[in-house]
Chains A and B, each alone.
Chain A
Amino acid sequence: MSFDSKIPAGEMNEKWNDYKGHVKLVNPANKRKLEVIVVGTGLAGASAAASLGEMGYKVKAFCFQDSPRRAHSIAAQGGINAAKNYQNDGDSVFRLFYDTVKGGDYRAREANVHRLAEVSNAIIDQCVAQGVPFAREYGGLLSNRSFGGTQVQRTFYAAGQTGQQLLLGAYSALERQIALGTVEMYSRHEMLDVVMIDEKARGIIARNLVTGELEKHFGHAVLLCTGGYGNVFYLSTNAMGSNVTAAWKAHKKGAFFGNPCFTQIHPTCIPVSGEYQSKLTLMSESLRNDGRIWVPKQKDEKRKAVDIPEEERDYYLERRYPAFGNLVPRDVASRAAKERCDEGYGVGTTKLAVYLDFKDAILRYGKIELGKQGNTTASQEEIIKAGKAVVEEKYGNLFEMYEKITGENPYEMPMRIFPAVHYTMGGLWVDYELQTTVKGLYALGEANFSDHGANRLGASALMQGLADGYFVIPYTLGNYLADEIRTPAIPTSHPAFAETEKAVSDRINTLMNIRGKQTVESFHKRLGKIMWDKCGMARNEKGLREAITEIQALKKEFWSDVRIPGEINNMNPELDKAGRVADFIELGELMCKDALERRESCGGHFREESQTEDGEAKRDDENFSFVSAWEYKGESNWQLNKEPLEFEIVKPTQRSYK
């Protein structure tokens, strides 16, 4: 099986241009004959499907939601990065590239990251042209804010609904192509396997979630834009339906899985309130621009936050990281919160929370606002009132969401926050062209492993999803399809389709016939607990070994005692969920195996055995400067392949935000 990253030769800042200049093209008459399957309609999938449709390919797009507009990209709050340097603060393509490689703790592929930074500006242009209503200044030009891990303002945003606005832009482009007939849309459909013919991906088996029927679909190429797998932890900021199934099926058909243990735990989420909790809600990182994070200096503090005087508060991020303060990258902020809570300084009923406080921001903005009106003698109340109005304009919807969930008013008392699983940097291994190790099978967006290394910087997920879909795949897919113009569409009567469909159908039958006692949900919760406790914010050898044993036992129990109600040939959400949880269980084992193998700390992967004296993550470049690309070899059996990482430009150093 091929394992070549296909990074073009040449200077770093010439690679992509050079590639584009020499890549094979498909002429318009041939494009009409070539069929492409796109699974998932989030930012990556919708932008890819729309762009490929515009180019003239015959596209079929699939999503499990009732409409492509609902993919989970919609929930991204904070913003999207681009190297526009509109703020004249020294930003450039190089800086964005550099920050992303460093932020990823030197575990990303330089050439991919450089390309990402290069196309970032075109994304903003494209979205504005589509009518995406980004925030603007009074002069009518675009506004920016800063995000963690950077010292420039390069984040474009639409209040706290940036993902929604970008997705609706891509969705509208997609709907336009549907109307023009270049894209055929299959909503409420879930991909359950890849069909392989002559060692190439040639289609998928999908289940119509309304009727329960299995369907066969041919494609000259298959694009998986199916998002991340954070729901392996049960509780995460992902949507309830977000799953790994499509990627996992691809993995079992030969696609290597890259860096599965690289998980992002986001520092600012609303804490868990009880056993019934079904998901966690993120509070955008943009809040760290103005909010200050603290815990009481005294353990087991009983007083209310507002009653604790200034000198008894520990602004631990500002104390530990004076250069970046509250804007350190996510992995650093999350671990620091965990450290304080582990030491007994946590707040709230569970003691697993820290404060995010806007008191100072309200006062600061209030003074500025009244100052603009020439009012320098305002009372404290007037200042607070004016300040609250500014904070409301910036973060109003987030504050409202917090209040709906917790019943507390964050303008009056600090928010309680705690880290939660948010994003997975790992994913299907892809080469420079976004092709997996299976020919004709591509992975875009969060579903691939490529650009964020061991830690993703804020406002980079939206950038990557749209980069892959709008500006990368339209070029790289042609390089493959140019050699496919002599392959006529393969009818789904081909035996490979029937065989794959039978395998899918057999598995569904097996699941339904277990007729055990325990619900799918209860298995998912148990898996999540193992993963969070032993493969979460901190990992060690002992815990990971235990986790692997426990997951294997859980898998056995699942396949002998799960209870799935309803029928096969009908709508059956429990059956859909069972298939996803079964795949999560297998993935969980691989994640622990990967975490065990990587005996260094890097980015979001913190191995307790590998830390500096002051508790920071300690990389081991000599032994672990590689991408782990896992090859499926059968049940609980994987082979580790290593893609060495070479850093031509950004020389790895101990990451410091102090």
Chain B
Amino acid sequence: MEHYNMNLTLKIWRQKNKQSAGSLETYQVKDISSEMSFLEMFDVLNEQLIVAGDDPIAFDHDCREGICGQCSMHIDGRAHGPWTNNTTCQLHMRAFKDGDTIVVEPWRSKAFPVIKDLMVDRSSFDRIIQAGGYISVNTGNAVDANSLPIDKKDADNAFMAAACIGCGACVATCVNSSAMLFVSAKVAQLAQLPQGQPERESRVLNMVAQMDKENFGNCTNTYACEAECPKGISVSNIARLNREYLSAGLSTEQ
């Protein structure tokens, strides 16, 4: 790869806390290497701000290898920026060129209130899992792992759904702020495994009820979530969620 350096203009959302109003502020960064990650470019900017006596930009990040799901930036109108199947931390500066202006905002959703600058509160996702995103098996209750053969196809599908990192890009990119992709990934994972059968119906009903309670919107099949999901979680999971929900609703005695 050819390496190059660039100067950039950044327009970044600044917001002191949950209550205050925010606005886009403009910053300049110089000599950014094309080999840097996007967050390393933010590190450079923050060092610059600290030295100048300004407040650095608050943003969530931790593993910086695309798996913890903590980073969450809306970059030039796209969740996690211009690359597909990618998280903000894995976005590298070779995606940009000298002289570019980049606009960075937090996830926007009623269910994800801004804490500060680019940081949002995603605890609604945890509460959805609390509502049923698990198999009730206390430690010590398990039978031998191989006593339960699982068709490789089902296991592979469950794994693909389980790859969700809970970052919330699906919600952020959705016009309705729907959390259907997130919820469906967990429902689909567990519904396809024999271990998940005993709580299959209550799980989907409870998780969907919690999702609604958290103020997430409805799904209108725009498929934006799938397009922006860093882990490529398929919208076919949403179709499965709908089927699961329907059949659970029909068969559960109210």
Contact = CB atoms under 8 A, between A and B. Distances in A.
A343 interface: no
Contact of A173 (B90, B134, B196): B134
Contacts of B36: 274, 276
A161 B156 CA distance: 13
A479 B190 CA distance: 36
A179 B131 contact: yes
A74 B55 contact: no
Interface stretch (B61-69, B172-180, B211-219, B237-245): B61-69
A565 interface: yes
Interface string B84-123: 0110001010100000000000000000000110010111
Nearest to A71: B68
Contacts of B10: none
Interface residues of B, number: 79
Nearest to A160: B67
Max chain A C-beta neighbours (<10 A), residue from B37, B39, B134: B134
Contacts of B47: 519, 521-522
A8 B17 CA distance: 54
Interface in A302-343: none
B149 A139 contact: yes
B75 interface: no
A125 B144 contact: yes
A165 interface: yes
B190 A131 contact: yes
A279 B155 contact: no
Interface in A156-209: 158-159, 161, 163-165, 168, 171-173, 175-176, 178-179, 185, 187
B62 A65 contact: yes
Given A172-B135, A281-B65, A571 B116 contact: yes
A68 B70 CA distance: 11
A504 interface: no
A1 interface: no
A165 B50 CA distance: 38
A278 B159 contact: no
Given A278-B40, A406-B1, A573-B56, A129 B159 contact: no
Interface stretch (A47-55, A384-392, A546-554, A606-614): A47-55
A544 interface: no
A408 interface: yes
Nearest to B42: A278
A165 B130 contact: no
B68 A74 contact: yes
A54 B66 CA distance: 32
Given A65-B70, A69-B69, A574-B50, A239 B62 contact: yes
B50 A519 contact: yes
B146 A133 contact: no
Given A125-B145, A407-B94, A521-B43, A470 B139 contact: yes
Contacts of A574: 50, 56
Contacts of B53: 565
Interface in B155-184: 155-156, 158-159, 162-163, 165-166
A175 B129 contact: yes
A502 B134 CA distance: 41
Given A66-B123, A239-B63, A128 B115 contact: no
A23 to B, nearest CB: 15
Contacts of B17: 570-571
A173 B135 CA distance: 8
B253 interface: no
B65 A401 contact: yes
B130 A239 contact: no
Interface string A110-126: 00000000000010111
Nearest to A156: B145
Contacts of B166: 67, 69-70
A75 interface: yes
A545 B145 CA distance: 51
A268 to B, nearest CB: 14
Contacts of B149: 136, 139-141
A130 B137 contact: yes
Given A274-B35, A276-B36, A276-B43, A161 B136 contact: no
Nearest to B192: A133
Given A47-B139, A70-B69, A178-B130, A133 B189 contact: yes
Max chain B C-beta neighbours (<10 A), residue from A86, A127, A135, A239: A239
A241 B115 contact: no
B243 to A, nearest CB: 19
A135 B44 CA distance: 41
B56 A176 contact: no
A67 B122 contact: yes
A239 B134 contact: no
Contacts of A490: none
Given A136-B150, A139-B149, A70 B70 contact: yes
B129 A565 contact: no
A72 B62 contact: yes
Max chain A C-beta neighbours (<10 A), residue from B61, B116, B137: B137
A566 interface: yes
A131 B50 contact: no
B134 A67 contact: no
B187 to A, nearest CB: 12
B139 A471 contact: yes
Interface string B217-236: 00000000000000000000
Contacts of A29: none
Contacts of A240: 61-64
B26 interface: no
A84 interface: yes
A50 B17 CA distance: 33
Interface string A147-162: 0000000000011010
Contacts of A161: 67, 163
Nearest to B47: A519
B155 A278 contact: no
B58 interface: yes
Contact of A566 (B43, B55, B138): B55
Contacts of B35: 273-274
B21 interface: no
Given A130-B137, A519-B51, A521-B43, A176 B130 contact: yes
A474 interface: yes
Given A278-B43, A571-B58, A66 B129 contact: no
B63 A276 contact: no
A15 to B, nearest CB: 20
B126 A175 contact: yes
Interface of B: 1, 17, 33, 35-37, 39-40, 43-44, 47, 49-51, 53-56, 58, 60-70, 83, 85-86, 90, 92, 94, 115-116, 119, 121-123, 125-126, 129-131, 133-146, 148-152, 155-156, 158-159, 162-163, 165-166, 189-190, 193, 195-196
Given A125-B144, A129-B141, A141-B149, 16 more contacts: A65-B70, A69-B166, A128-B142, A130-B195, A131-B162, A133-B155, A134-B145, A140-B149, A164-B163, A171-B129, A172-B129, A276-B40, A278-B64, A279-B64, A281-B65, A571-B119
Interface of A: 47, 50-51, 54, 65-72, 74-75, 84, 86, 122, 124-131, 133-142, 158-159, 161, 163-165, 168, 171-173, 175-176, 178-179, 185, 187, 210, 237, 239-241, 273-274, 276-279, 281-282, 400-401, 404-408, 470-471, 474, 517, 519, 521-522, 563, 565-566, 570-571, 573-574
12 contacts: A54-B138, A67-B123, A67-B166, A125-B145, A128-B195, A129-B137, A135-B155, A137-B152, A164-B163, A405-B90, A565-B53, A574-B50
- Nearest 8 CB-CB pairs, A to B? A140-B149, A172-B134, A129-B142, A125-B142, A133-B159, A407-B1, A179-B130, A128-B145
